[in-house]
Amino acid sequence: MLMNTTLLRPASLALALLLGATDASAKVTEKFSQTYPLDATGSIHLENVNGSVEIVAWDKNEVALEAEKSARTDEGLARIQLRIDSNNRRLTVKTELEKKWKFWDNMNAQVHYKLMVPAGASLDRIEVVNANITVTGVKGSVALGAVNGGIEAEGLSGDGEFETVNGSIRVAYSTLPAAGKLSLDTVNGSCKLTLPKDAAFDLDADTVNGRITCDFPITLQNSGKRELRGPVNGGGARVNLESVNGGLTVSSAK
């Protein structure tokens, strides 16, 4: 299978330059859009710094990728590169910032992504720094991580791994896989997991500083102010929640 590698540079992108005032808040932007074929159960990996990532499922066997780069100057914009590797089974997207930048310029460099992906695809690792991740309708397994940002996901039905540092996690499942595994882990943030009313799972929840709330009737195996363990509806999927400095909530869908 052939691998297509694309290094996106200013000359190959569709430019949309917005030159504002000359103050420090002025931005230069550049937009890119491309479609990549991907099998219905293919996988996606994305790494980004200083920019949000939005992923929405659709019914096509392809990924529609939109990206918007921004920086203070044209030179700064040219130093932001998007590296994309693609084949029919996997799409990898990485934001690369040149290391020679001054700290202030680096902080002002951003890339915001929006991806439309096959509903059955897996998000094998989506990682961001200084930004948020939102995911809607993906049925395959997902692994999301954010530093200095939050995670919001809904309409999920596969295995899930969600991690944040300095950010909250909000995840809602439309269907919980019978033998599935869910893990929500945060430092300095809260977690809220919403599951179907008839979900059967084994809950293991721990927090260092925070409350634990569970809407479901649970057969307690261990409980206290900082921990809650036991099967729900006879047990099934493994559901683990952990937090340092944040509360944990497991709620039933209305």
Tell whether the model's pLDDT for residue 167 goes beyond 50: yes
- pLDDT band at residue 97, thresholds of 50, 70 and 90? confident
Residue type, 215: D
Strands 191-195 and 169-173, by their bridges, are: parallel
* Tally of residues, the chain: 254
pLDDT at 101: 52
* Torsion 100-105-108-112 (CA) sign: negative
CB neighbours of residue 221 within 10 Å: 12
Q: What is the pLDDT of residues 116-136, one digit of tens each?
A: 999 999 999 999 999 999 999
pLDDT at 240: 98
Is this structure's pTM higher than 0.85? Answer: yes
Distance between CA atoms of 148 and 124, rounded to whole angstroms? 20
Q: What is the pLDDT of residues 206-228, one digit of tens each?
A: 999 999 999 999 988 866 678 99
Using an 8 Å Cβ cutoff, are 234 and 200 in contact?
Answer: yes
Q: What is the pLDDT of residues 42-91, one digit of tens each?
A: 999 999 999 999 999 999 999 999 999 999 989 889 889 999 999 999 99
CB neighbours of residue 83 within 10 Å: 14
Distance between CA atoms of 144 and 122, rounded to whole angstroms? 11
